[in-house]
Amino acid sequence: MRLLLTGKRGQVGWELERALAPLGDLTALDSRQLDLSDPDLVRSTLRQLDPDVIVNAAAYTAVDKAESEERLAFRINADAPGLIAAEAVRSGAVMVHYSTDYVFDGRKPGPYLETDASSPLGAYGRSKAAGDDAIARSGCSHLVLRTSWVYAARGKNFVLTMLRLGRERDELRIVDDQLGAPTSARQIAAVTAIILARSLERAGARYRLRASHDGVVNLTAAGSTTWFGFAQRIFALAGGRAPRLVPISTDQYPTVARRPHNSVLDRRRCLEAFGVDIPDWSTGLAQCIDELRESGRLAPTGETQAV
């Protein structure tokens, strides 16, 4: 089986390159090798490599910057996935794509289902929702894995930002009225590989997803917390010197793009369809902190980190 992974230098992409390798012949490309804003390059690359499975982990993820770069965000997050999906239809490939909680406005009182209508608050969310819709309209065999509050031991994310700011400041003011499920890139990649191993079946010379497995699937860790609760747990696990954390409201921390107050996604379909689940969010965070400590990027528990 030939697999193509895009966005291999991203948080999820970096983990996917390792998780997907046992499934077949994997080609992993970064944005320098495959710029999703260049449709001719996307089309020619797909036709040259002719993969059985395309895992698109590349995305425009600068939420605030997207407000002033909406056209670019749409080229990468909407136009490119639509083109990839069209090429998947042409060749008979399976497409896996990643979506986000930002396609919702966060006003729902409970967890969002895969079938809930999108209602994004900003340009980033609109571009991702448009990409999800384009894939669905294409008719290709696909999985759209929708996740939230992604972090990893590398890249740019809340965990690494908190640890950096904790070394620089005595006090941090953290939003405490947005709810979500922090989900590690390592867990997302591991579950993606399991889902593909359990869902793909031969269809002549190609592969396809079992009919009941096609479509959108929420893929997040269990449980939920606020950004403030997330920060508390980060410093508790990291040990050593920690800043004083002050809970604040969203209104007290204005951003260019609005964020949903509720980003919790219903997780039942993933367990029922694939028999796989991600444990409580604190489990993945503990693994991430351990990885940072083992790599020497975090002082051992109980030691004071240099300021």
Q: In CATH, which superfamily holds the domain spanning 2-148+184-221+265-279?
A: NAD(P)-binding Rossmann-like Domain (3.40.50.720)
Sketch the domain layout of the chain as residue ranges: 2-148+184-221+265-279
Chain centroid offset of residue 241 CA? 30
* Residue 65 Cα distances to 33, 46, 178, 256, angstroms: 23, 29, 20, 8
The DSSP secondary-structure symbol of 76 reads I
Q: Which two tokens stand for residue 260?
A: 């949903």
Give buried/exposed letters for 125-141 (b at 16+ CB in 10 A, else e). bbbbbbbbbbbeebebb
pLDDT confidence of residue 88 = 97
Which residues on adjacent β-strands are paired with residue 25? 2
pLDDT confidence of residue 5 = 98
Give the CB-side neighbour count of residue 263, counting CA atoms within 13 A.
31
Amino acid at 111: P
pLDDT confidence of residue 213 = 84
pLDDT confidence of residue 199 = 93
Q: Using CA atoms, how far apart are residues 230 and 180, in angstroms rounded to an integer?
A: 9
DSSP letters spanning 26-67: EEEE-TTT--TT-HHHHHHHHHHH--SEEEE------TTGGG
Cβ atoms of 54 and 81 closer than 8 Å: no
**Which residues are CB-contacts of 227 (< 8 A; sequence separation ≥ 6)?**
158, 174, 175, 176, 178
pLDDT confidence of residue 205 = 82
- Residues assigned a catalytic role: 124
pLDDT by residue for the chain (307 residues), tens only, comes to 999 999 999 999 999 999 999 999 999 999 999 999 999 999 999 999 999 999 999 999 999 999 999 999 999 999 999 999 999 999 999 999 999 999 999 999 999 999 999 999 999 999 999 999 999 999 999 999 999 999 999 999 999 999 999 999 999 999 999 999 999 999 999 999 999 999 998 888 888 998 778 899 999 999 999 999 999 999 999 998 899 999 999 999 999 999 999 999 999 999 999 999 999 999 999 999 999 999 988 865 434 333 2
Dihedral sign for Cα atoms in the order 85, 87, 88, 90: positive
Chain centroid offset of residue 44 CA? 26
Amino acid at 215: G
pTM: 0.93
